[in-house]
């Protein structure tokens, strides 16, 4: 796979030779985050409610992440269409949790794709693996719409002007390798599935208000060797982006069913109790707000999420996750700020008959390059305190606080992108 992706990228990089007087531009881009911390004299723990899809991230990221990419673009000569260019991207990534430093190695092709922008009209064509229009909430690093990342390969049409908005269409293929056969436990194989991702976005309702929509159609053919039946699923989302002055807000609602409940296709055995993919469904509504002023910045999230697996556990088949978090950050100077993050995650899990919450508070001193909520590079000194319900004893930060219902961590974190 890596050889094929590298060949694709090199072909895109070599393409300028086909055109007269091309304009070349190659960039080395990437992202790096690492934390040095401890909890109760041991390795640093992260505090996340069991059953929640994310955790509040400030002073709560016990890991190292590194992404490195080459992004090559060229613009052909005068005979080419206006504003057209060809882009080739190759990115590799590495990840390791604290205590697993040996796992930090570049063994994943995160992105490898080619894009032809404005060659055949007022739209782009692309093919390969990529981070495709990911939607995420920053305060808890929650990617709520992320259909193409880690897929085998995809292709699509993007940024086509239709009426008041932009139209995007992508077809994505997934390969789930090493799946055990349900007919013969000694046999493994690769399960295939696909997704059609349709978006209509940037519909201007008024100054600063834009409406966006997504529809996903997923399908998995029958695999008689592995014993998996044909399954399908679908999902739909609406979100309103608001940008007024120095504030921004995302109000989103989505529903997904069947094999598409994770956004991208999942298997019946993706969780311990399993899914009935004829009945499984997910619903969510959230509001994420950000404000960046000269004296302080603010992030806020409120979220309600329910997931039904279709298979009853001890009390039913539904997991309900509710979340509320806020992070004000006060600028001490042009190069420093003091941040406080308060996060509350409530989870009611009918499968395990567990009902409880995780409350987390972090105080952090940030050294920044400028006054901006997203300013990087940054260096943070932090201390975090967390408490959780009795029902979650042994399920939160269990290697250090397995017999407790509270814990702490402290350390230093650096984060940079370029």
Model pLDDT for residues 301-344, shown as the tens digit of each residue: 999 999 999 999 999 999 999 999 999 999 999 999 999 999 99
Rounded Cα distance, 101 and 375, in Å: 27
- Percent of the residues in the chain that have a pLDDT greater than 70, as a whole number: 94
The CA-to-CA distance between both ends of the chain, in Å, stands at 26
What are the structure tokens assigned to 16, written together? Answer: 């300028």
User: Does residue 93 sit in helix, strand or coil?
Assistant: strand
Tokens 């930090």, located at residue: 104
Interval 228-235 mean pLDDT: 95
CA distances for 135 relative to 111, 145, 192, 233, angstroms: 17, 5, 25, 20
CB atoms under 10 Å from CB of 338, counted, come to 14
Tokens 């990342």, located at residue: 149
Residue 271 has pLDDT above 80, yes or no: no
Residue 285 has pLDDT above 50, yes or no: yes
Range in 66-70, 75-79, 172-176, 224-228 the model is least confident about: 75-79
Interval 212-228 mean pLDDT: 95
Q: What values do phi and psi take at 87, rounded to 5?
A: -125, 135
Please report the pLDDT score of residue 375 as a whole number: 85
Rounded Cα distance, 112 and 8, in Å: 8
CB atoms under 10 Å from CB of 224, counted, come to 9
- Percent of the residues in the chain that have a pLDDT greater than 90, as a whole number: 81
Residue 11 has pLDDT above 60, yes or no: no
Confidence class for position 8, pLDDT limits 50, 70, 90: very low
CA distances for 351 relative to 48, 270, 348, 360, angstroms: 18, 14, 9, 25
377 prior amide bond cis, ω within 30: yes
CA distances for 154 relative to 60, 157, 215, 257, angstroms: 33, 11, 16, 22
Confidence class for position 41, pLDDT limits 50, 70, 90: confident
Q: What values do phi and psi take at 244, rounded to 5?
A: -130, 120
**Percent helix, percent strand, percent coil in the chain, to nearest 5:** 5, 60, 35
Residue 274 has pLDDT above 80, yes or no: yes
Q: What is the 3-state secondary structure (H, E, C) of 185-231?
A: CCCEEEEEEEEEEEEEEEEEEECCEEEEEEEEEEEECCECCCCECCE
Confidence class for position 99, pLDDT limits 50, 70, 90: confident
Confidence class for position 22, pLDDT limits 50, 70, 90: low
Please report the pLDDT score of residue 362 as a whole number: 98
Q: Which sequence spans correspond to the domains of the chain?
A: 2-417
Confidence class for position 17, pLDDT limits 50, 70, 90: very low
Residue 20 has pLDDT above 60, yes or no: no
What are the structure tokens assigned to 22, written together? Answer: 């091309």
Range in 8-12, 157-161, 325-329 the model is least confident about: 8-12
Rounded Cα distance, 304 and 311, in Å: 21
Residue 374 has pLDDT above 90, yes or no: no
Range in 58-72, 102-116, 335-349 the model is least confident about: 102-116
Interval 211-220 mean pLDDT: 97
Please report the pLDDT score of residue 268 as a whole number: 87
Helix and strand totals (H; E) in the chain: 2, 21
Interval 374-402 mean pLDDT: 95
Please report the pLDDT score of residue 24 as a whole number: 83
Instruction: For the chain, give the mean pLDDT.
Output: 92
Q: What's the CATH fold of domain 2-417?
A: Maltoporin; Chain A (2.40.170)
Residue 247 has pLDDT above 80, yes or no: yes
């Amino acid at each position: 796979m890596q050889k094929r992706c590298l060949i694709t990228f090199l072909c895109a990089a070599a393409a300028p030779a086909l055109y007269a007087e091309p304009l070349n531009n190659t960039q080395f881009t990437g992202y790096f985050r690492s934390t040095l911390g401890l909890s109760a004299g041991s390795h640093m723990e992260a505090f996340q409610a069991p059953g929640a899809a994310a955790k509040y991230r400030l002073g709560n990221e016990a890991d190292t992440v590194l992404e490195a990419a080459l992004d090559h673009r060229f613009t052909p000569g005068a005979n080419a269409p206006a504003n057209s260019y060809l882009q080739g991207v190759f990115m590799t990534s590495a990840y390791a949790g604290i205590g697993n430093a040996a796992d930090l190695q570049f063994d994943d092709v995160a992105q490898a794709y080619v894009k032809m922008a404005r060659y055949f009209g007022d739209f782009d064509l692309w093919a390969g693996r990529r981070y495709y229009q990911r939607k995420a909430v920053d305060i808890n690093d929650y990617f709520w719409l992320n259909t193409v990342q880690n897929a085998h390969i995809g292709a699509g049409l993007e940024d086509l002007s239709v009426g008041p908005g932009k139209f995007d269409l992508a077809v994505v293929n997934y390969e789930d390798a090493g799946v055990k056969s349900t007919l013969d436990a000694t046999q493994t194989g690769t399960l295939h599935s696909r997704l059609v991702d349709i978006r209509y976005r940037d519909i201007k309702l008024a100054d600063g208000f834009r409406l966006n929509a997504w529809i996903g159609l997923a399908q998995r053919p029958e695999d008689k060797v592995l014993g998996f039946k044909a399954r399908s699923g679908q999902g739909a989302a609406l979100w309103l982006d608001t940008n007024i002055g120095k504030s921004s807000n995302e109000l989103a609602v989505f529903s997904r069913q069947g094999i598409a409940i994770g956004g991208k296709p999942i298997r019946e055995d993706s969780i311990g109790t399993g899914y009935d993919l004829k009945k499984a469904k997910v619903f969510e509504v959230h509001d994420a707000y950000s404000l960046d002023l000269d004296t302080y910045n603010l992030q806020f999230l409120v979220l309600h999420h329910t997931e039904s697996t279709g298979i009853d556990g001890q009390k039913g088949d539904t997991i309900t996750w509710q979340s509320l978090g806020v992070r004000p950050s006060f600028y001490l100077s042009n190069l420093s700020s003091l941040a406080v993050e308060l996060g509350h995650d409530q989870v009611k899990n009918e499968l395990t008959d567990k009902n409880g919450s995780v409350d987390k508070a972090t105080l952090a001193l940030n050294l920044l390059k400028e006054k901006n909520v997203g300013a990087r590079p940054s260096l943070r000194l932090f201390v975090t305190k967390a408490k959780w319900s009795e029902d979650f004893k042994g399920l939160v930060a269990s290697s250090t606080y397995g017999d407790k219902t509270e814990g702490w961590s402290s350390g230093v974190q650096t984060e940079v992108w370029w």
